[in-house]
Structure 1
Amino acid sequence: MNSSYKTVFHPYVLLFISVLAIAVSSILIKSSDAPASVAGMYRLLITVLILSPFVPWKPVKAMRLSAAEWGLVCTAGVFLGLHFLFWMESLSYTSVASSMVILTLQPFFVMVGSYFLFRERVTIGIVLCMAASLAGSVLIAWGDMEVSRQALIGDGLSLLGTIAIAVYLLAGQKLSGKIPANVYSIMVFGLGGLVLLAYSVAQGYSLTEYDSSEWTYFLLLAIIPTVFGHFLFNLLLNTIGATTVSVGVIGEPVLAIILAYLLLGEVVGAMQVAGGLLTLIGMGMYFWLRSGQARTVTDTEEKGRPL
């Protein structure tokens, strides 16, 4: 991450902004009548157009990546496209609540991957904090969760989307020290958009016949949850890691019910309040433990330096 981001913004402030932006995505997706793959395609490709003017292209031309690293970039892009396809499609079959709860399983998949790929140390305390946050998310969504054949299809798609985004985040962390975040984002957003374009064409979906309100949704999906959400996630991968980024996503249901209360006037029940508090406590303890680990590592490195 650029030094300007380090000095001006604390990583957890950026994480909060990104999760808040992501919380808006399900509302926008539910408001759109376009096929999920088309909405996802424009979401990613419009983001590429927005970010491209801010990339210093001359240094990019001199960038040297190995064949394995290029393969990892392609993997990340494909799995990002699959995440949007599966998760956005799941909202046509199941409730936002059910889909978001399954999405909060993401940190557990990332945690397992981080252990094997990066030997990331995980303590019992950290696992318990993550479990408490997940339990809070389940409480928030409990009253809106559905049990039906259609809902199970949606939940299955949401699970596939969750696994796909976990792979995407792990690949991003692996490449975060090799490629600047803005360049990496353009590459994977572009590849993900092409995956969704290919699927949309194969399904025979129209790519242009949408009214002005749909194009407005596409633009908002690009600006809010993608530029201020997924792009910021990529900025953070090199500093706080994929597991901590994914834990932040657990806060999405909490922010979603707060937004629904403030913007839509929805009633917040006692179970949602209890679930929200449990989620926030679990996340707060997780970030506190992670910060303690980071301070310990820093102190150890300082003591090991020669005078």
Structure 2
Amino acid sequence: MFNNRIYPLLIIGLFAISTSPVIAKLLPYVPATVIAFWRMAIASGALWFYTSFFSYSPISPKNSRLVYLAGASLAMHFIFWFGALKLTSIANTTVLGIVAPAFTLLIEKLVYGKEINTLSTISLMIIFIGCIIVQGSDLGNFSGVGLGNIMAIVSAIFLGIVFLIGSRVRQNTGVLPYTKNLFTVSAIVLLFCSLLLDNSIVNYSIENYFWLLMLGLVPTLIGHTIFSYSIKFVSPTIIASIPLGEPIIASILAFILFNERIYSNVVIGGVVIGIGLILLIRNNKN
């Protein structure tokens, strides 16, 4: 059941993660894998420092394996998400990126055999139609904006995996050890990916490092840690649905700061996706 005391934290988390695409747009010359690496490295470093003053139970071997999978999935989420921001608008990326609850439910069905009732099926169809509307004239286009939109959807799949694994691990694992190890594994995977793609993780400007620091602290350390804490108390589908408000907040900031135009198909598709997600949330809130 819902825990009303968790709502204020989730609202703070929403505003925190909404700054992520805006900050990323301020890093046009930093590769997606490098942005993602520093985001995870800074956040995990801060958590390792903070948790050094406390004692807590270690993560069990079984849960450790799940954390490794979640960390790798989180790394892939960020690679595709930041990659999408390089190709398409903040509005497109955030609207398509919030479909994670749909994939969370589908993965629950495939992996755990969860029943999907008629209303949930209708909700998933509505979300799918909304994604097609957002894609618009770029439907079938595998370059430029079209590719960016596809990458945003793929990023949502990986985020759905992270939330689903987190809901299981957090039942008997504290938020700090879970989040610290999650971010650390993700940072290691991202470092490997950066080196594999020959993307340097150093030699950037002071301004770039400042925004990378903000990216690691605000949307990651504050936003994602809040979600990792809350996932113990509410459904993973609900947690994955909290970013519903991100496209609105992020798109307004993008218009003010970058004069990014929001096209009608994105607005219409976003509304359709929102309706589908709301139906999905209300039908899966336990």
The TM tier, using the shorter chain, reads 0.7 to 0.9
**Structure-2 residue corresponding to 1:10:** 6
The reply to whether residue 69 of structure 1 matches residue 75 of structure 2 is no
- 5+ residue gaps, structure 1, are 1-5, 295-307
Q: Distance in 2 between matches of 1:95 and 1:75?
A: 29
Q: Distance in 2 between matches of 1:162 and 1:277?
A: 18
The reply to whether residue 211 of structure 1 matches residue 205 of structure 2 is yes
Look up the SS of the partner of 1:21 in the other structure: helix
**Structure-2 residue corresponding to 1:303:** none
The reply to whether residue 154 of structure 1 matches residue 177 of structure 2 is no
- Give runs of aligned pairs for residues 283-298 of structure 1, distance below 5 A: 294=286
Instruction: Please say if residues 16 and 218 of structure 2, whose CA atoms lie closer than 8 Å, have aligned partners that are also in contact.
Output: yes
Please list the CA deviations of residues 12-50 of structure 1 after superposition, one character each: whole Å capped at 9, or x if unmatched: x32232222222211111110211111111111111122
Q: Amino acid of the residue matched to residue 41 of structure 1?
A: F
Q: Distance in 1 between matches of 2:40 and 2:66?
A: 19
Please list the CA deviations of residues 242-284 of structure 1 after superposition, one character each: whole Å capped at 9, or x if unmatched: 2111122232212223434666677878877777776666666
Instruction: Please say if residues 91 and 251 of structure 2, whose CA atoms lie closer than 8 Å, have aligned partners that are also in contact.
Output: no
Greater alpha carbon shift after TM alignment, 116-125 vs 90-99: 116-125
Instruction: Please say if residues 31 and 199 of structure 2, whose CA atoms lie closer than 8 Å, have aligned partners that are also in contact.
Output: yes
For residue 219 of structure 2, the aligned residue among 222, 225, 233 is: 225
Instruction: Please say if residues 132 and 139 of structure 2, whose CA atoms lie closer than 8 Å, have aligned partners that are also in contact.
Output: no
State the Cα distance separating 1:10 from its structure 2 match.
2.6
Q: Amino acid of the residue matched to residue 33 of structure 2?
A: S
Q: Amino acid of the residue matched to residue 18 of structure 1?
A: G
Q: Distance in 2 between matches of 1:137 and 1:23?
A: 20
Q: Amino acid of the residue matched to residue 48 of structure 2?
A: S
Q: 1:148 to 1:121 in 2, by over 3 A?
A: closer
Please list the CA deviations of residues 154-173 of structure 1 after superposition, one character each: whole Å capped at 9, or x if unmatched: 23333332222121111111
**Structure-1 residue corresponding to 2:84:** 90
Q: Amino acid of the residue matched to residue 203 of structure 1?
A: L
- 5+ residue gaps, structure 2, are none
Q: Distance in 2 between matches of 1:282 and 1:16?
A: 21
Q: Distance in 1 between matches of 2:166 and 2:147?
A: 29
For residue 177 of structure 2, the aligned residue among 154, 169, 183 is: 183
State the Cα distance separating 1:213 from its structure 2 match.
0.7
Identity %: 23
TM-score, normalised on structure 2?
0.80
Please list the CA deviations of residues 115-148 of structure 1 after superposition, one character each: whole Å capped at 9, or x if unmatched: 4556656554456567667777877886999956
State the Cα distance separating 1:221 from its structure 2 match.
0.5
Greater alpha carbon shift after TM alignment, 230-239 vs 272-281: 272-281
Q: Distance in 2 between matches of 1:31 and 1:221?
A: 11
Please list the CA deviations of residues 185-238 of structure 1 after superposition, one character each: whole Å capped at 9, or x if unmatched: 110101111111112222222222111110111011111211222111111211
For residue 113 of structure 1, the aligned residue among 104, 107, 115 is: 107
**Structure-2 residue corresponding to 1:55:** 51
**Structure-1 residue corresponding to 2:163:** 169
* Count of residues in correspondence between the two structures: 283
TM-score, normalised on structure 1?
0.76
Q: 1:203 to 1:115 in 2, by over 3 A?
A: closer
Greater alpha carbon shift after TM alignment, 105-114 vs 282-291: 282-291
Q: 1:16 to 1:119 in 2, by over 3 A?
A: farther
For residue 242 of structure 2, the aligned residue among 243, 248, 253 is: 248
**Structure-2 residue corresponding to 1:34:** 30
Look up the SS of the partner of 2:87 in the other structure: coil
Q: Distance in 1 between matches of 2:185 and 2:130?
A: 35
